[in-house]
Structures are given as structure tokens and as C-alpha cells.
Chains A and B, each alone.
Chain A
Amino acid sequence: MLELTGITAGYDRGRPVVRDMSLAVADGEALGLLGPSGCGKSTLARVAALLHTPWAGSVRLAGETVTGHRFRAPRHQRTAIGVVFQQPRLAADPRLRLRDLIAEPARATGRGRELADRAAALADAAGLGAELLRRRPHEVSDGQLQRACLARALLLRPRLLICDEMTAMLDASTTAALVALVEDYRKEQGAALLAVGHDRVLLGRWCDSVREWDGDGNPAGAELLTQE
């Protein structure tokens, strides 16, 4: 499904955050990326989500080589990946009501009408009632907002879901609800998952395999842990 080969990426010239890193997620597989803060796992996730242009290395998505990132990536490649970010506050446009937030990708791709029912069903599955859907991001809790962000990420039926510390800011019951929502979706669509986090227990239970690297910021020395 997704293949990253020899990725080197960073933000400031000459100081790479990710160095020569490779990674593959098979169709339907759930891979966890585990590591301390600042080790580059989020940067790698952003490269995988086609949101950050790597300095070197190649990205292959569903057998196609990705030739550009962000706006340069063709729309079908971008929408094949659903992304959930760590901080829902920052990942939600403060002016959009939750209803519009969830429907946003459908409207951006000109499928607003076609996917209206799916948006409603997802909001319902995420436990967001009609009253909540009328509110704006600053009027709901982090957990409620993250549910809406997850619904938004699932709207276009992505074949790969990337969750970058999706539950890091949330309590245990909301975490469980969100993970259950992701798992229901994956069972239904056979989608792959790349989950980034630092919660060893959660990722260990959630993912088929977990890739961990230590805190020296050098992911080249990563080891592979496989869970039953």
C-alpha cells in the first residue's frame, strides 16, 4: 500500500530530522511507529501523508510513485490517505461548524451531495449529535473535536489511515471510542493503518507490528518489534 524508501527529511537546511528511513505498510496492515518526542516519527508520518516534501528518498503509494507532495500530489493520491492529527484544535478550521468540518473533503472534491449521507452516518458513529454538529470548534471539547476530525479523515474512504498521536491528548474512554471507530472502518474497508505514538501499550494492542526507535534522533538504528 505505502512504501517509503531511504527517506531523509527535515525543516532547516542541513539538519535532517529523519535520516535514510524506510518503511512499508501492506494493504490492510496496521503498523505502529513508536518513539520519544523529537525522534522524527511525526515528520515521517507527514512525508507518508504527502504533506511534507522529503529531501531524499521515494514514496510509493498503491504501486504508483509519488512525484510531488502537498498541492503537487495528484488529488487521488492525497485522498487515498486519511490523516488524523495530534491536536484537534489546530487541525480544525476555527470558522467551520463541525457539520461542515466533517463534510469538508467531500466538498473539496466536488462530491458534497453524493457523500452527505455518509457524512451524517460517520458523525452518528462518532457519537456527535445534531446539536454538537451545529457548534464551532471552540465550543466543543478536545475529544469531541477529535471525533469530528476522525470522521473527516474517514469520509472519502481512504485506503490508508495515518493517525499521528491521535489520542495523545484524550482520556481513556475517548481513546477507546476512537480506536474502535478506526477498527470498525478498517474491518469494513480493509484499509491499512499507520499509527504514530509514544504509548507502547496502546500501539502494541492496536497494531499488527510496532516499529520503535530510540531517542538519539537516528531512526536508521530502529529495531522491529512484532506483536502476537
Chain B
Amino acid sequence: MKASIIVFPASNCDRDVAVALKQISGKAPHMVWHGDAELPASDLIVLPGGFSYGDYLRSGALAARSPIMNAVVEQAKAGVPVLGICNGFQVLTESGLLPGVLLRNAGLKFICKDVHLTIERNDTLYTSDYKDHKTIKVPVAHHDGNYFANEETINQLEGENRVAFRYCDEQGTPSEQANINGSRNNIAGIYDEKTRILGMMPHPERMIADELGGVEGLPLFRSILDTLH
């Protein structure tokens, strides 16, 4: 698997994703600096978590307009899968590759804890290895994770089965109480029309070893590898 991870100034989960991908595929991904204009031919692009450009203006707004993003959008439109985690999800919405926007958390607090997520479907590039899971537990660490889109967009996402994950309780119910940040319909992650692009606030790359608290993030990366090979 030839994966590329885009590194922005103040990305801070780029190496975590690199470790996860290397662990799964045995191959170290390319680390591509945001100022580069060229992106090596990749079969997966990852926009990692962090606080690119200090979250100035809006989270992800400046990163979405950095030179490398032209190449990312081009490859994404040509069908190359793009995974955006946390800040990467914000960059995906800001660049228009995914609809909606991530607002400040409804409770205004930075939230850093493990959360439960429903796996809404396990037939995608990113979730095919979650056959035995209805829910997973992975960490979140964000201030702007409150997914918002207008009614029409939400209906479209729901109608087209494009919600990837929802915040839920331990039993798997996406209750209001489990909705940590006020997201519409408890949405924690969404796909594009072809389910090739996934944006998600939680961090599967931080749940890939028992020492980190569990391995429930691993199947996501394994799914990608299995599907691409």
C-alpha cells in the first residue's frame, strides 16, 4: 500500500497514523509537507489530526487552502481514497470534499476521552473488517467537533447511508446523552457519495495496541489494506 500522510504545521497525529499504517501494511507511508505542490502517486491519502495553523480563522480553513490540497482534491476526484481524522475531517469539510462543517463543541469544552461509536455500515473500504463489531471504543480529542449541516444535507447523508459512525452509549444507542459535542444526529463521521472519502472526529490511530487501551482502531486500517489489495 502506497499511503501518503499530509503534514501541516501543527499536525500532531501524523506519526500516530504512520505507525498504524506501518503496523498493518509493513510499509512506511510517505510524509508529504503541506507546502509541496506535488503528491506522490498514492492509493490512500490521510489528513491527520492536530491543530493546523493553530486553528486560526476556522479549524482546518487555512490548511484546506494550502498548496498540497490542490493535488489532494485532484487525486480524491480521480477516486483515490482520502481519510481525514479529527483536524483532517475539518480540512475535508473546509475544502469541500465533504459537506457540512464542524462547529465549536456545544458545551464549549475541549473533550478528550474514550467514546463509543456505532459502526453504521461494515461494507465500506474503511469498515469491512468490523464484521464482528456493532460498536467500537476509540478516543476523541477536539474542541470543534460539533457536526453541522443544513436539513437538506443531513437528509441526504441519512438517505444515502453516508453516516459512518455515531456517538453512542455503551449499549450502542446513539442517545442524546452520548452525543458528546452536539453533533446533528450524533454524527461522528461521514462518507462522500462513493464512500471513498471518510471524515471522522474520533482517533482510530490512537487505539491500535493494548498499551494504548485497546485495539479497536486497528480493523479500520486493516479494512483499507484488505480492500486495496
Asked if A and B are interacting partners, one says no
Seen from chain A, the residues whose Cβ lies within 8 Å of a Cβ on chain B are none
